[in-house]
């Protein structure tokens, strides 16, 4: 076994709901307080995982984090039994109850930034879990995500799971949603591309309407932690105008894989200069050219790019060596996006296939195919050392779909979060999931 890229998707949890908690995420706000379908959401996510597993043979999952986080509400002064705490929070501040029930850990592109061992000076695979401090409902994920990653990648000789960066505005970190790794054919060392929205200092350009969730200081800190040499790193800034248009993460406006970058012409600040610098670094490192596929505003208006999530599609290398583009069905339904997809597949590049998948439950909450996956490149020893229970097999897929059918509700409204029986339902489901994944229950029900 050589170095192989594995895809870790977030298993969508039983409390999937639409609370509209993510400021700057247009889809999240648009569908806020609608009735969600947790069962359909989880099955759609599993169907995507199964498709990628069939294509690549390298699909894994990360379990959902424990919800509700009642200790979060208790820390804010709500007291009494579980039912009393829930009732008090709902009557006083329903948005706080929604926060402690949020299933947003499903979007594992935000779980961490990952640097393969071939890129790192110490020869270990490095993870920095994202602190996600820009939004309250996601900031409570960081410690639990760290806990889970250390349980799955538990060899200190082979893996280094760092703690999250300080949960402070200067170091706001959103993980791999703002990080892409490029690697040449037959190469092991890659070029890691870090994209930030908030520059260091006080003179840079910044958005006016929505927050820039990734800071330059955070990106630089992660690169230092991961022991990446200067020739293996490139930094770039998001275009502030696209952040204000709803591009809250770079992966909403650009997606990269191996030696291919697919992006909008307005994705980055000073884009021509940045792409020249990125291409030159890639050529110097790999000896080959970076294939940049760029769509202009006239080909794909920014509004269509955001609503269709074309650039949040997932690129995967199939077993036969070709590359497939996995798009949400919204790209098929949007004329401009569909035409751009056709141009990609028919063009002179390595992407020769497109797959449209129904992920509407995730899309309505603001996350598409690329939001749902974390890319982890593993060498032969690391593949053996990783916890095998999270590898998606035919057997595991069958067990999980059956488990979802028994434990997940068909509908979940904001009013339903007030139901105290939902606590027992979700924790019972997580107890059973720990057995299915062969992870200790204290990992999935950890109190951190």
Active site (catalytic) residues: 174, 249, 371
Can you read off the two tokens belonging to residue 337? 């996006």
- Residue whose C-alpha is closest to residue 165's, from 192, 188, 134, 190: 134
> What element of type H or E holds 99?
helix 94-101
Q: Round to whole Å and give the CA distance between 66 and 411.
A: 19
Got the DSSP string for 163-200? PPPPSSGGG---GGGGEEEE--TT----EEEEEESB-S
Reported as half-sphere exposure (CB side, CA atoms, 13 A), residue 319 has a value of 9
Q: Round to whole Å and give the CA distance between 26 and 46.
A: 25
Q: Round to whole Å and give the CA distance between 117 and 382.
A: 10
DSSP SS3 for 315: strand
Which residues neighbour 240 within 8 Å (Cβ) at sequence distance 6 or greater?
197, 205, 206, 207, 208, 212, 269
Looking at 165-317, list the stretches that DSSP marks H as alpha helix, in order from N- to C-terminal side: 216-225, 240-244, 271-286, 302-308
Q: Kindly tell me the burial class for residue 80, based on how many C-beta atoms sit within 10 Å of its own C-beta (0-12, 13-18, 19 or more).
A: exposed
Strands 159-161 and 179-182: unpaired
Q: Round to whole Å and give the CA distance between 360 and 367.
A: 9
């Amino acid at each position: 076994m050589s170095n192989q890229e594995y895809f870790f998707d977030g298993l969508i949890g039983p409390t999937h709901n639409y609370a509209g908690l993510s400021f700057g995420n247009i889809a999240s706000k648009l569908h806020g307080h609608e009735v969600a379908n947790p069962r359909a959401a989880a099955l759609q996510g599993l169907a995507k995982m199964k498709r990628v597993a069939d294509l690549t043979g390298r699909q894994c999952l990360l379990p959902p984090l424990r919800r509700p986080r009642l200790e979060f509400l208790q820390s804010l002064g709500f007291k009494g039994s579980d039912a009393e705490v829930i009732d008090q929070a709902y009557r006083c501040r329903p948005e706080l109850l929604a926060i402690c029930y949020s299933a947003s850990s499903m979007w594992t592109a935000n779980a961490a930034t990952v640097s393969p061992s071939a890129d790192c000076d110490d020869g270990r695979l490095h993870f920095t879990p994202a602190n996600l401090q820009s939004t309250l409902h996601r900031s409570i994920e960081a410690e639990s995500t760290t806990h889970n990653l250390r349980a799955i990648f538990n060899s200190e000789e082979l893996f280094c799971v760092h703690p999250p960066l300080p949960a402070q505005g200067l170091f706001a970190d959103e993980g791999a949603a703002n990080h892409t790794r490029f690697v040449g054919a037959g190469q092991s060392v890659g070029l890691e591309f870090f994209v930030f929205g908030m520059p260091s200092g006080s003179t840079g350009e910044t958005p006016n309407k929505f927050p820039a969730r990734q800071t330059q200081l955070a990106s630089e800190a992660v690169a230092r932690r991961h022991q990446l040499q200067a020739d293996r790193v490139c930094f770039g800034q998001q275009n502030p105008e696209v952040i204000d248009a709803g591009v809250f993460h770079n992966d909403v406006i650009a997606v990269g894989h191996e030696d291919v970058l697919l992006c909008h012409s307005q994705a980055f600040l000073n884009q021509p200069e940045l792409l020249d610098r990125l291409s030159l670094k890639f050529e110097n490192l790999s000896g080959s050219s970076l294939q940049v596929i760029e769509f202009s505003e006239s080909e794909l208006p920014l509004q269509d790019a955001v609503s269709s999530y074309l650039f949040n599609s997932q690129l995967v290398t199939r077993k036969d060596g070709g590359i497939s583009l996995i798009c949400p069905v919204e790209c098929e339904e949007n004329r401009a996006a569909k035409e751009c997809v056709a141009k990609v597949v028919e063009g002179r590049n390595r992407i020769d296939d497109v797959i449209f998948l129904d992920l509407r439950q995730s899309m309505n909450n603001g996350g598409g195919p690329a939001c749902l996956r974390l890319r982890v490149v593993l060498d032969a020893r690391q593949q053996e050392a990783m916890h095998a229970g999270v590898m998606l097999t035919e057997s595991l897929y069958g067990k999980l779909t059956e488990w979802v059918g028994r434990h997940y509700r068909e509908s979940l409204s904001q009013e339903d979060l007030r139901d105290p029986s939902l606590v027992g339902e979700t924790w019972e489901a997580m107890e059973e999931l720990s057995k299915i994944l062969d992870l200790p229950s204290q990992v999935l029900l950890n109190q951190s």
